[in-house]
Amino acid sequence: MSVGGVMSKVKPYLLVIFLQIGFAGMYTIAVASLKRGMNHYVLVVYRNGIAAAVMAPFALWFERKTRPKMTLRVFLKIITLGLLEPVLDQNLSYMGQNNTSAGFGSTLFNTIPAITFVMAVIFRMEKVNLKHRRSQAKVIGTVVSVLGALLMIFYDGPVVEFFWSKGRTHHSTSGANNGGGNWVSGTIMLLASCVFWSGFYIVQANTLESYPAELSLTTLICFSGSVLSSAVTIIMEGWTAKPWSIGFDMRLITVIYSGVICSGVAYYVQGIVMKERGPVFVTSFNPLCMIVTTLLGSIILAEEITLGRILGAVVIVSGLYSLIWGKGNDHLTVPSDKSGKNNGSMDLPTTAAVTVSQSKLELQVK
């Protein structure tokens, strides 16, 4: 096999690994900045504004001849996307992680496949036939993932020590030691964030069907998110200049990193990988982000790693892979079309896609 052929096969793996490590770094530095007093509303505004500014030149140049015309329906979908992810998901995610921890948040984000699967079933975007083993696996995986999340929420257990954490003062984020109210509210915020994240992917998938220009769509989502977030920040914080000041420190690094890597580049990379390998492929790498974030949180932020979190993570990942296995076997009963495309073979709306097989409308859905 030629070098080009090998790189073509390896590229999706390298891209999703890069994506998950990028998210892990963002969770860690964002929590560090938030705990030092950075305003999460302002972080969302700057993050998406920088992402739009960075991605706009690429969108204008590379898609200048292929960009579809803007319609009112597409415009409304873009506004919805800007509201779901930048405004609701990101703000709730930052607030939730600030009240809990970066590692705890990244672990709960592994419930997104299960949440999206439930949403898809409710909206009749996903068929479930309990007579088939693949459907049983998807349902069981969903239930197991939810049970894993509940285990993490209600059971802490003893702190697990590692060689780098011995003798250090930990920053406790458990409900018992960090204020039960803050911990519970943070958990609720993180779960709500997962719901909005799933909704974002479903709408994004639908939008890409009528507006198949990934760079332009990414730019417009980030721009609308920045504008909407600015309005929210003014309403919540007033017209004072103090929250908008960040300085040349960790806060500036957080804004640039999260904007360029985790909004601009991530939306684009996620889209192109899903087109080639399907959203289930991307979702299956989510535990990598959880592992890296937990390790970084423990090393850099001195966050506790408790037995309950480890057990909950194991249960969630087990449920996740049961769900992925069930969805991955859908292609066995779905015939390919003449162009060689598999109609919904791997299109679970967990991270960017959902397939409406009855009407043959494919929708694409971190």
pLDDT the model gives residue 62:
92
Per residue in 206-245, pLDDT (tens digit) is 888 889 888 999 999 999 999 999 999 999 988 788 888 8
pLDDT the model gives residue 330:
61
Asked if residues 267 and 136 have their Cβ atoms less than 8 Å apart, the reply is no
Asked if residues 31 and 97 have their Cβ atoms less than 8 Å apart, the reply is yes
Length of the chain: 366
C-alpha distances (whole Å) from 214 to each of 50, 56, 304, 351, 361 are 17, 11, 39, 15, 19
pLDDT tier for residue 350 given thresholds of 50, 70 and 90: very low
CA 33 vs. chain centroid, Å, equals 20
Average pLDDT, stretch 289-304? Answer: 79
Average pLDDT, the chain: 79
**Distance between CA 274 and CA 282 in Å, rounded?**
7
Tell the residue number behind the tokens 């909704």, with chain if given. Answer: 199
| pTM of the predicted structure, to 2 decimals | 0.76
HSE, CB side, 13 Å, CA atoms: give it for residue 313. Answer: 21
pLDDT tier for residue 340 given thresholds of 50, 70 and 90: very low
Phi then psi dihedrals of residue 317, to 5 deg: -65, -40
C-alpha distances (whole Å) from 140 to each of 127, 133, 154, 315, 320 are 15, 10, 21, 12, 10
What is the token pair recorded at 121?
A: 């079933």
HSE, CB side, 13 Å, CA atoms: give it for residue 170. Answer: 21
Within 36-132, where are the H helices?
40-62, 72-82, 90-99, 102-108, 112-122
Asked if residues 33 and 196 have their Cβ atoms less than 8 Å apart, the reply is no
Burial class (CB in 10 A: 0-12, 13-18, 19+), 158: exposed
* pLDDT above 90: residue 312: no
- Alpha-carbon dihedral 303, 304, 305, 307, rounded to 10 degrees: -160
pLDDT tier for residue 93 given thresholds of 50, 70 and 90: very high
What is the token pair recorded at 90?
A: 């990101």
Hey, which bits of the chain come out as E strands? 354-356, 361-363
Asked if residues 175 and 156 have their Cβ atoms less than 8 Å apart, the reply is yes
pLDDT the model gives residue 169:
55
CA 204 vs. chain centroid, Å, equals 13
Question: How many Cβ atoms are within 10 Å of 103's Cβ, its own excluded?
Answer: 30
Tell the residue number behind the tokens 């560090």, with chain if given. Answer: 32
**Distance between CA 350 and CA 294 in Å, rounded?**
22
Asked if residues 303 and 102 have their Cβ atoms less than 8 Å apart, the reply is yes
The percent of residues in the chain predicted with pLDDT above 90, rounded, is 25
